[in-house]
Amino acid sequence: MYQICENRCAMAGKLYPKNHQLAVVLAVKDTHSNIEEGASASVQPTRILPVWQSDSLTTILHGLDKMVLAQAQHHKTKSVNDNVYGCFKSSHGHTKGINGVPRNLHTNCYSNAWRNWLCKFKQDTVSQVPPFNIEDLAKGMESLVTLNPQSGPGPTGSAPNLAPAPQASPANPQTGGQPGPSGTISMHVD
């Protein structure tokens, strides 16, 4: 897990050299997912995602992992990365209250559902640090590591259908229904 933390910090330093808030979050070792070893050598480890972690923080961490894997060039580095990052499955870890939860991260690094479950005193005990632009960073990270739909002509030579289909106007505006095969007005269901 230490290697994953170091790799994420190094990659974030390359991408966001002046984002000190993200650097502070990544420097806390409890921010990163726990890895549980497999039952035997042939079983890959399981990644345990903390229940307190926000979706935006999870997106950033996994995006940094994807970038680390993509930049590996040497075959031994790729082999080591496959062992370190090659998780068989992910599951959500459970915490009892605020035990084991890193303290004093920005409030939007914590899951809203988890924070709302806590009483006000525990919310303040965990963190009173104001939020930062982690949602914007997560959206930017997601756009960097995922494929975007093509904005040009598709394989048929026409523009892709990215807009929702226009709604047909009802034949009878008083009832709002369309005439069915029998000629009667049918009920319109979305």
Q: What is the mean pLDDT of residues 56-69?
A: 87
Least confident interval from 111-120, 126-135, 157-166, 172-181: 157-166
Task: Please name which of 64, 72, 54, 52 lies closest in space to residue 140, comparing C-alpha atoms.
Answer: 64
pLDDT at residue 165, rounded to an integer? 43
140: Cβ contacts below 8 Å, ≥ 6 apart: none
The whole-number average pLDDT for the span 89-108 is 80
- What's the CA gap between 109 and 22, in Å, rounded? 10
Residue 1 has pLDDT above 70, yes or no: no
Q: Are 123 and 65 in contact (CB under 8 A)?
A: no
Contact, 138 vs 60, CB < 8 A? yes
Averaged pLDDT, 2-27: 87
Instruction: Give the Cα separation of 162 and 171 in Å (integer).
Output: 27
- Asked if 43 and 88 touch (Cβ cutoff 8 Å), the reply is yes
Is a pLDDT exceeding 70 seen at residue 153?
Answer: no
pLDDT tier at 181 (50, 70, 90 boundaries)?
Answer: low
Q: Are 128 and 109 in contact (CB under 8 A)?
A: no
Residue 118, pLDDT score: 93
Q: What is the mean pLDDT of residues 66-82?
A: 75
Q: What's the CA gap between 166 and 130, in Å, rounded?
A: 43
Which has the closest alpha carbon to 168: 159, 177, 160? 177
Q: Where is mean pLDDT largest: 110-124, 134-148, 161-175?
A: 110-124
3 state SS for 108-135: HHECHHHHHHCCHHHHHHHCCECCCCHH
Percent of the chain with pLDDT over 90: 26
| Structure-token pair, residue 97 | 């209250």
pLDDT band at 103; cut points 50, 70, 90: very high
